[in-house]
Amino acid sequence: MRVYHCNMYWIGYDIGSSSIKAALINADNGSPIDMVQYPEKEMSIASAQSGWAEQDPQRWWQNLCKTTQNLISKSNINKSEIKGIGISYQMHGLVIVDKKLEPIRPSIIWCDSRAVETGEQLFHNAGEEKCIDHLLNAPGNFTLSKLKWVKDNEPENYQNIYKFMLPGDYIALRLSGECTTTPSGLSEGILWDFKENQIAKWLLEEAGIDTSLVPEIRPSFSEQGRVSKKGAEESGLPEGIPIMYRAGDQPNNALALNVMEPGQIAATGGTSGVVYAISGQQRTQEHTRINSFAHVNHSKDATRIGKLLCINGTGIQYSWMKNELTIGLSYNDMNQIAEKVTIGSDGLSILPFGNGAERMLENRGKGSRILNLNFNIHKKSHLFRAALEGIAFAFVHGMEILQNDGVDISSIKAGNDNLFRAGIFSKTVATLSQSKIDIVETTGSVGAARAAAYAHGDFASIGEATATDAVQLTYEPENNINEYQEAYQIWKEALNEYLD
C-alpha cells in the first residue's frame, strides 16, 4: 500500500461526456499523485431525434461522487488533507434547474445540433455586425441558442427555470449549493459582451430570456463556493473546502499546457483535432470558421482571447484505416510503415474531412477524398503516410486561418496524443508552421487541480504550478521545407477543387 508524506493536496475534475476524471496533486509542487476515471465504459448519450444529444446531469454527479471515493481510496490519503477543488467540463452544454435546484430536463450537451436554426435567427435579428463586434461570434448552436430552443419548444419547462447553467456550473452547484458561473463560461455560451465587459443583456432581450435566470458571476480564478454538508456527505469530500477554479475543457487544456499568452497554441489530436490559440486582439474576421472565447486569464485590462479551431476528421480517419485496412497492426506499426515513403507520398493525397460538416470549411462536408491513387505505385505504406500528411495539412491550413484572424504563432504544445507521437504528422506541422512542437504529459483534471492551487495562492503563476511537467518530446522544423511546401500545395489544390 502506498503512503504519501505530503501535508496537503488539491483535487481537479474533468467532467466529460464519456466519463468523469479526477486527479490529486501535491500542494507543494503541483506534481500529480494519482488519477482515476469513472465509469470505465463510456456514459451513454440519449438521442430521441436525429441530431439530438442529451445526458442526465445527475448521472455526472453520481459518477463524480464515485470517482472521488475511488481516488481517495486509491491514493491512501486522509480526505481532510484536500485543500480545495478545480473543475474542467464539457463546453457549450445547457442545464436548467428549478427553485429546488433540481434539473428540469436532461442536459442538451455540446454535440446536440437542434438549435442551429434558432442561433441563425438570433444572429439575424440581433444584428450580425453587432454580434461579431461585441460577441466575437455568431450565437450559433451554443448555450444561449439551446436555451432559446427550450423557450420556444418546451414552454412549460422554460416557465419552471430558476437558473440556467453550463455543465461545470451544475457540478459546482451540487458541491456547494450555490448557482454561479464565470465570464469564460458565459463567453463559450455566446453570452458575454467583450466590448462592455459584461453579460450581453441586449442579446438575452432579443432572445426573450430574463437576465434573472443567469447565475451569479465569479472570476475563473476565485472562490466560487465551498463544499456544503450535503455535498460532502454525497461526494466524500471534506465539508467547507473551496471551489477555486472553473473552465471549459479546451481553455482548461490550454492552461494544463501552460498556454496563457498571445501566440501560444495548445493542440490536441484525438478523434477530432483542436487548435486553440491565444490572441491579444479583441476582434475577429473568421467567425464563420473559428470561435473566439474569453480565455481563463482574460480581463478588461489584459485581452486574452482563446481562438478555437476544430477539425472533425482527424484521428478518426487514421483509426478508420487501422480498423478497416489492417489486421493486428498498432498505430506505431502503421507509423513505421509510413516512414518508408518519402514526403508527399509519391503524389497520393488524402483529404481527411469524412466526419461530418467541417466548421473550418464553413460547415461544408462532402466526405473524405483519396486523390491520385495509382495502382502501380501506391501501397498501404503510401496510404498511411498520405493519411498522416493529410491530417497535418488540415492542421496547418487551420493555423493559416488563425493567422488571418490576428494570431501570431510563437509556440505549439500538445498533450500525449497518438497523432502527435507520429513523427510524420508532427514534423510536417512543425516544418510548415516553422514552430517547434513540445509534447507534454498532462491531463485536464491535473490542470484543473493546479489552477485551483494557483487561484488560492499556492503558486505565483501557472508556469510555476506546471513546472514539474517534463517535455517528453520536441519536434523542430526540418531543413527541407521546400519538399513539405510542395506536398502541401498539391494538397491545397485538391482541397480547393473539393470545395468548388
The per-residue pLDDT for range 275-319, each reduced to its tens digit, is: 999 999 999 999 999 999 999 999 999 999 999 999 988 989 999
Q: Both 225 and 355 in a single domain?
A: no
> What is the DSSP annotation of 6-45?
-S-EEEEEEE-SS-EEEEEEETTT--EEEEEEE-SSPPP-
CATH number at residue 71: 3.30.420.40
- Confidence (pLDDT) at 1: 40
Residue 5 above 70 pLDDT? Answer: no
pLDDT at position 475 over 80: yes
Average pLDDT, the chain: 95
Q: 169-181: per-residue pLDDT in tens?
A: 999 999 999 999 9
Give, in order, the Cα–Cα distances in Å from 291 to each of 15, 43, 140, 401, 408. Answer: 21, 27, 10, 11, 17
Q: Quickly list DSSP for 59-75.
A: HHHHHHHHHHHHHHHHH
Quick check: is 463 in a domain?
A: no
Domain membership of residue 355 (yes or no) is yes
369 contacts 351 by C-beta, under 8 angstroms:
yes
Is 70 in the same domain as 166? yes
Distance CA 249, CA 243 (A): 17
Cell 484525438 identifies what position?
270
Residue 306 and residue 197 in one domain: no
On the question of pLDDT at 4 being above 80, the answer is no
Q: What pLDDT was estimated at residue 423?
A: 95
State the Cα torsion 63-68-69-75 to the nearest 10°: 140
More confident residue, 356 or 310: 310
Structural domain for 189, as ranges: 9-250
> What pLDDT does 366 receive?
82
Please indicate, yes or no, whether residues 228 and 262 belong to a single structural domain of this protein. Answer: no
Backbone angles phi, psi at 347, to 5 degrees: 90, -5
Asked if 385 and 437 sit in the same domain, the reply is yes
Same-domain check for residues 275 and 230: no
pLDDT, one tens digit per residue, over 209-219 is 999 999 999 99
User: Is residue 486 situated within a structural domain?
Assistant: yes
Using a 10 angstrom Cβ sphere, with 0-12 exposed, 13-18 middle and 19 or more buried, the burial of residue 107 is buried
- Statement: residue 416 has pLDDT above 60: yes
Alpha-carbon span 354 to 156, nearest angstrom: 39
Residue 450 domain flag: no
Determine the residue type at 365.
G
The neighbour count for residue 360, using CB atoms within 10 Å, is 22
User: Is 465 within the bounds of a domain?
Assistant: no
In this predicted model, what pLDDT tens digit does every residue of 16-63 receive, in sequence order?
A: 999 999 999 999 999 999 999 999 888 999 999 998 999 999 999 999
Q: Which of 188, 217, 250 is the last residue of a domain?
A: 250
Residues 221, 275, single domain; the answer is no
Q: Is there a single domain that holds both residue 128 and residue 79?
A: yes
Q: In the structure grid, which three cell numbers stand for residue 389, read together?
A: 500528411
Q: Is 392 a domain residue?
A: yes
**What are the pLDDT digits (tens) for 217-262?**
999 999 999 999 999 999 999 999 999 999 999 999 999 999 999 9
Domain count, the chain: 2
Backbone angles phi, psi at 448, to 5 degrees: -65, -40
CA 52/CA 208 separation, integer angstroms: 23
Instruction: Identify whether residues 227 and 189 lie together within a single domain.
Output: yes
CA distances from 450 to 11, 218, 221 (A): 8, 18, 11
Statement to judge: residues 244 and 296 lie in one domain: no
Mean per-residue pLDDT, 142-161: 98
Place of cell 509542487: 29
pLDDT at residue 2 is higher than 50:
no
Say what the pLDDT of residue 295 is.
97
Chosen domain end from 224, 250, 276: 250
Q: Identify the burial level of 166 via C-beta atoms within 10 angstroms of its C-beta, where 0-12 means exposed, 13-18 middle and 19 or more buried.
A: buried
Q: Is residue 197 part of a domain?
A: yes
Kindly state whether residues 29 and 174 are assigned to the same domain: yes
Q: Which of 147, 248, 137, 237 is closest to 193 using CA atoms?
A: 137
What percentage of the chain exceeds 70 in pLDDT?
99
Length in residues, the chain: 500
**Residue 122 is placed in which grid cell?**
438570433
Beta carbons of 348 and 398 less than 8 angstroms apart: no
pLDDT at 150 over 90: yes
356, pLDDT greater than 90: no
Domain co-membership, 262 together with 134: no
Q: What's the CA gap between 267 and 62, in Å, rounded?
A: 31
Look up residue 222 and give its DSSP letter: S
| Domain endpoint, select from 250, 277, 299 | 250
Q: CB count, 10 Å around CB of 129?
A: 8
Is residue 3 predicted with pLDDT exceeding 60? no
Q: Is residue 417 part of a domain?
A: yes
Non-local CB neighbours of 188 within 8 Å, separated by 6+ positions: 91, 92, 142, 143, 166, 248, 251, 293
Residue 269 has pLDDT above 80, yes or no: yes
